[in-house]
Amino acid sequence: MKDQDVKKSVPGSSMIEVDGVVYEFSVKGSPEMQMVALQSVLMVLSNEMKIERDIAVIFLLMGSLATISYPLALLGLPLYVVVGFVVASVVTYVRELMSDAHRPPVAGPMINQLINFKRLFDYQITLARKYRTYRLITDSHSEVYTADPLNVEYILKTNFPNYGKGEYNCDIMKDLFGDGIFAVDGKKWRHQRKLASYEFSAKVLRDFSSNVFRTNAAKLALKVYKEALANREMDLQDLLMKSAMDTMFKVGFGVDLDTLSGSDETSNQFIKAFDDSNVIVYRRYVDVFWKVKRFLNIGLERNLKDNIKVIDDFVYKLIRRKREQMRYEEVSMSKNNLPGAKEDILSRFLMESEKDEEMTDKYLRDIILSFLIAGKDSSANTLAWFFYMLCKHPLIQEKVLLEVKLATEVTDQLSVDEFVHRLTEATLDRMQYLHAALTETLRLYPAVPVDGKNSNEDDVLPDGHKIKKGDGISYMPYAMGRMTYIWGEDAEEFRPGRWLENGVFKAKALSNSLPFRWDLEFAYTQMKIIASTLLFFYGFKLIDDKRDATYRTMFTLHMDKGLILFISRCVIWADGRHQAKRENRWCRPESKTLHFLELNQPML
Ligand code: HEM
């Protein structure tokens, strides 16, 4: 740049020339304003220079440090930070090791979890076998982990008020979930918990959701059929996730998203933004720099911000449309004197919002998004592990099928739609073995593998270990399911019979102690409808039954690399009506066209 040719228009500003064009910029005001200004300069620079903005940020920071003549600081600072961090950690670690005898035993530094992140829940099993309750040490506090059922009951029930989410967890969740139930404690949490318990026990919502479950189970069964017919390998987990999204959306907002068909572009964008945001938020637990990245609006944090915008646009539009629709219905209802059924959760909360001015559109958005994440992944993941277990145990698959046939009393050929209408509350109640098999799946593959809380005050757990105010405290359902001291020598075996007494499902003390009953009731109805429909019409077999499925470490127990299956028995065929003809035909989707073989031919 030829300095003599150009003049600064603002004192203290700087200039830069790119491809012959001179840009002038100055940065003033609060640090936030400065950052916004810097970002817009970087935007111009990165666009003009065709480089990633993140790289531009690094260059700019380095450059600004250099221009203010602190090259030594640049070299010394990281070293100082690392050494300071290590010394602080070692001092805390040694101090904690030597601390009061009644504290839970120290199993290592917290960083061990990061090192074992990919197989985190197995790492927790190893430790839980050694100590029922243990601590991992961070430079600021202890994270306590327990697999002791008495401690779990104490945290979740007996002294529940002492164990909230805490600032640390809420901070991580806030950007995506706002004031939704996953990101708040205290008054707002109690408000939503009460609302949920009340709403989910309302007959209108229960009937509406059961209808949605049935309709979507039929859609899923037909989708599975099409996949088999097209001779495609099927990722059943993916189909279950899409179907669960459609279900939660219909129950949550009263809207058909139809992710399963994938035909609506706006819905697809919303789902992608929502799923990606969840993954990014979970990564914050292991990325110590996430706040810096958020401040600089770079990397995954920038993606999160963009995704949240997509989510917000979609959800706020829905809320506005729903308000208008309700107003319109009210007018036409008063004209026609007809009662209107506000069935979905959003409509019910909107009615509530008319009595409660704290329930703004923003609060409604936050509430609904928390329900969506809680309800969508948990039941879909559980069903994926359930089908995986049934493939690994074909006799149990047959036994569940037998029970489904007996409970539904289906003796003739039925279409899928006819079949799902038989799945009434009474019919589902008769499926005790299925209930036990789902519960056994949840024991070994719990939808929430680790659940973390924070202690508000000093306390003593039932096993005598002292908890300090500010300690993190987590219970580990995944590890607990495999402990012989809880379940006996066959703890790792998949044995639904352990939940039955004289053929009737009997909950164990531990599962009874969990206070959150309504969500499981809702989930079981949904899972039983889907499981019985799919098992009635198809048999499932793993593409590779030598391979053991593993999980992807995140909030819910997601199966890594999907659940790739083929249909080993098929009782629907394409005669236009999708009739079911049980047991007398087998299909072989791995061949070029779908063949139907007589029953007496060997099973594939
Ligand atoms: C197999 C299915 C499910 C399992 C195993 C499951 C399990 C859990 C667990 C362990 C928690 C944490 C409880 C606590 O820390 O106090 C939880 C919280 C929650 N669940 Fe579920 N859940 C399932 C399905 C659902 C469904 C279908 C919904 C929604 C319709 C739902 C809504 C919620 C909500 C809103 C919370 C947050 C409660 C809070 O923070 O207090 N869950 N669930």
Query: What's the CATH number where 563 sits?
Result: 1.10.630.10
| Per-residue pLDDT, 134 | 97
Q: For 551, phi and psi rounded to 5 degrees?
A: -105, 165
- CB 139 less than 6 A from any atom of ligand 1: no
For the chain, the average pLDDT equals 81
Question: pLDDT at position 348, please?
Answer: 79
Q: How confident is the model at residue 427 (pLDDT cuts 50, 70, 90)?
A: very high
Task: Indicate the SS3 state at residue 434.
Answer: helix
- Percent of the residues in the chain that have a pLDDT greater than 70, as a whole number: 77
Q: Which residues pair with 163 in a beta bridge?
A: 455
Q: Pick the more confident residue, 9 or 338.
A: 9
Phi, psi of 461 (to 5 degrees): -75, 160
| 350 & 495 share domain | yes
User: Is the minimum distance from the CB of 375 to ligand 1 under 6 angstroms?
Assistant: yes
Give this prediction's pTM: 0.80
Query: What's residue 261's pLDDT?
Result: 82
User: Per-residue pLDDT averaged across 292-315, rounded?
Assistant: 95
Structure-model confidence comparison of residues 393 and 508, the more confident one: 393
Q: How many domains does the chain have?
A: 2
Low-confidence winner among 96-100, 144-148, 477-481 (lowest mean pLDDT): 96-100
Are 55 and 196 part of one and the same domain? Answer: no
Q: Determine, yes or no, domain membership for 498.
A: yes
Q: Measured in angstroms, how far is the CA atom of residue 439 from the centroid of ligand 1?
A: 15
The three-class DSSP label of residue 292 is: helix
Residue at 77 is within a domain: no
pLDDT value at position 278?
Answer: 87
Between the CA of 177 and the centroid of ligand 1 the distance, in Å, is: 15
| pLDDT tens track for 558-591 | 999 899 988 877 665 444 333 333 333 444 443 3
Q: Which two tokens stand for residue 339?
A: 């009662």
* Residue 439 confidence (pLDDT): 95
DSSP helix/strand/coil, 163: strand
Q: Read out DSSP for 526-565?
A: HHHHHHHHHHHHEEEEES-TTSPP-EE-SSS-EETT--EE
Are the CB atoms for 531 and 383 separated by under 8 Å? yes
**How many A from CA of 203 to the centre of ligand 1?**
20
Lowest mean pLDDT among 97-101, 443-447, 484-488: 97-101
Same domain flag for 187 and 52 = no
Contact 473, 454 (CB under 8 A): yes
Q: Which atom of ligand 1 is nearest to the CA of 382?
A: 1
Whether 30 shows a pLDDT value over 70: the answer reads no
Mutate to test the pocket of ligand 1, among 172, 216, 247, 516 (most ligand atoms within 8 A of CB): 516
Asked if the model's pLDDT at residue 592 lies above 50, the reply is no
If one compares 357 and 117, the residue with the highest pLDDT of the two is 117
Q: Taking 60 as the threshold, does the pLDDT of residue 518 lie above it?
A: yes
Distance 280 CA to ligand 1 centre (A): 20
Separation of alpha carbons 556 and 341, rounded Å: 33
Residue 148 belongs to some domain of the structure: no
Asked if residue 249 has its Cβ within 6 Å of ligand 1, the reply is: no
What phi and psi values does residue 307 have, to the nearest 5 degrees? -65, -40
**Residue 484, pLDDT score:** 96
More confident residue, 39 or 318: 318
| Ligand 1 atom showing the smallest separation from residue 251 Cα | 30
Instruction: Check pocket membership of 379 for ligand 1, CB cut-off 6 A.
Output: yes
**Same domain? 42 vs 187:** no
- Cβ(212) to ligand 1 under 6 A? no
* Mean pLDDT confidence for 294-298: 94
Closest CA to ligand 1's atom 36: 374
β-strands 538-542, 472-475: how paired?
unpaired
Is residue 89, in this structure, part of any structural domain at all?
A: no
Residues 64 and 70: beta-carbon distance below 8 Å: no
Please report the pLDDT score of residue 36 as a whole number.
57
Q: Measure the CA angle with vertex 447, ends 441 and 448; round to 5°.
A: 135
Pocket flag, ligand 1, residue 259 (CB < 6 Å): no
Domain closes at, from 69, 86, 106:
69
Task: Give the nearest ligand 1 atom to 193 CA.
Answer: 41
Residues 93 and 109 sit within 8 Å (Cβ to Cβ): yes
Angstrom distances, CA of residue 110 to CA of 12, 92, 207, 469: 46, 12, 46, 18
Q: Which residue has the tokens 């019919």?
A: 427
The owner of tokens 């994938």 is 262
User: What integer pLDDT is reported at residue 188 of this predicted model?
Assistant: 86
Q: Which ligand 1 atom minimizes the distance to the CA of 515?
A: 16
CA 221, 447, 279 angle in degrees (round to 5)?
A: 95
Within a domain: 521: yes
What angle (nearest 5°) sits at the alpha carbon of residue 339, between those of residues 333 and 342?
Answer: 100
- Looking at the domain assignment, is residue 572 inside a domain? yes
Domain boundary among 48, 69, 90: 69
The alpha carbons of the chain give a radius of gyration, in whole angstroms, of: 28
Last residue of a domain, one of 17, 39, 69: 69
**Tens digits of residue pLDDT in 51-108:** 444 555 555 565 555 555 556 666 677 677 777 777 777 777 777 777 767 999 999 9
- Per-position b or e across 352-361, b if 16+ CB within 10 A of its CB: ebeeeeebee
Which residue has the CA at smallest separation from atom 3 of ligand 1?
A: 378
Name the range with the highest mean pLDDT among 103-107, 188-192, 331-335, 554-558. 103-107
CA of 541 to the centre of ligand 1 (A): 30
Q: Kindly state whether residue 78 falls inside one of the protein's structural domains.
A: no
Q: What is the band of 191 on the pLDDT scale with cuts at 50, 70, 90? A: confident
Q: CA nearest 461: which of 39, 141, 132, 202? A: 132
Provide long-range contacts, Cβ within 8 A and 24+ apart, for 468-471. 468/103, 468/141, 468/142, 470/141, 471/141, 471/142, 471/143, 471/144
pLDDT at residue 583, rounded to an integer: 37
The pLDDT assigned to 277 comes to 92
Asked whether residue 449 is assigned to any structural domain, the reply reads yes
Helix (H) or strand (E) holding 316: helix 299-336
**Torsion 391-397-401-407 (CA) sign:** negative
Mean per-residue pLDDT, 8-25: 64
Most confident of 35-44, 484-493, 556-565: 484-493
pLDDT of residue 341: 53
* pLDDT tens by residue, 97-136: 777 679 999 999 888 888 898 899 999 999 999 999 999 9
For residues 64 and 204, membership in a common domain is answered with no
How remote is the CA of residue 240 from the centroid of ligand 1, in Å? 18
CA nearest ligand 1 atom 34, residue: 374
**Residue 38 pLDDT class (50, 70, 90 cuts):** low
Distances (CA, A) of 312 to 30, 171, 176, 323: 28, 19, 10, 16
Comparison of pLDDT for 583 and 15, the residue scoring more: 15
Mean per-residue pLDDT for 442-466?
94
Distance (Å, rounded) from C-alpha 255 to C-alpha 131? 48
pLDDT confidence of residue 580: 37
Mean pLDDT (whole number) for 148-171: 91
Shortest CA distance to 539 belongs to which of 440, 424, 445, 400? Answer: 400
367, 180 Cβ separation under 8 angstroms: yes
**Burial bucket for residue 2 (CB in 10 Å: 0-12, 13-18, 19+):** exposed
Say what the pLDDT of residue 249 is.
Answer: 87
65 and 189 fall within a common domain: no
| 478 pLDDT higher than 60 | yes
Q: Residue 515: which pLDDT band, with cuts at 50, 70 and 90?
A: very low
pLDDT attached to residue 457? 95
SS3 assignment, position 21: strand
Q: Scan for tokens 């909950």, then name that residue.
A: 507
CA of 374 to the centre of ligand 1 (A): 6
By CB atoms closer than 10 A (0-12, 13-18, 19+), residue 433 is: buried
- Name the residue range of residue 19's domain: 3-69
